[in-house]
Amino acid sequence: MKSTDFGRLFEFQVFGDEEGSLVALESSKNIPFEIQRSYHIFGIMPGARRGFHAHKTLKQLAVCVRGTCKFLLDNGSEKKEVSLSNPRQGVLIDPMVWHEMFDFSPDAVLLVLADQHYDESDYIRNYDQFMKAAQERL
């Protein structure tokens, strides 16, 4: 992976009129994979920081559909901070990218789309193990 490729921000088309706005997310159209699972994170305690893992093979795209939050993304050689501040934007979380989510606003709802079903064995939850695996891929 080229270092600049990870943590790509997507800007979705908004269908809007005077009555409101709508964003459609579709497998292999504006989402760059087949969606197998979605989950959403909400009711986050003030100051909470989540994530602290990378996935071996899972691809995901996260949209803060309400409120705001930030991501720290780390591919083992470069770190990026990404802010999600509106429901028109999404951030791609590639495999082998360590990620942490933080600075959630009290009303934040983070929707995550994933290309595989839940599998705990796909997680790398130890940063040293992640760095070792990331270096081996270079």
Please state the closest distance from residue 80 (CB atom) to ligand T46, in A. 15
Please state the closest distance from residue 56 (CB atom) to ligand T46, in A. 11
Q: What's the token pair of residue 11?
A: 């800007």
Query: Would you list the DSSP string of 112-123?
Result: EEESS---GGGE
Binding to ligand T46, residues 72-111 (CB under 6 A):
93
Catalytic-labelled residue, pool 53, 55, 99, 117:
53
Tell me, what amino acid is at 37? R
Please state the closest distance from residue 41 (CB atom) to ligand T46, in A. 5
Q: Residue 133 interacts with ligand T46 (CB under 6 A)?
A: no
Check if 117 is active-site.
no
Q: Which of 112, 116, 131, 133 binds ligand T46 (CB under 6 A)?
A: 112
CA-wise closest residue to 78 among 64, 61, 95, 98: 98
CA-wise closest residue to 112 among 27, 40, 12: 40
Give per-residue burial for 53-80: e unless 16+ CB within 10 Å, then b: bbbeebbbbbbbbebebbbbbbbbeeee
User: Which C-beta is closer to ligand T46: that of 15 or that of 119?
Assistant: 119
CA-wise closest residue to 61 among 86, 96, 37, 85: 37
Please state the closest distance from residue 101 (CB atom) to ligand T46, in A. 6
- Size of residue set near ligand T46 by CB under 6 A: 10
**Contacts with ligand T46, residue ranges (CB under 6 A):** 37, 39, 41, 50-51, 60, 62, 93, 112, 118
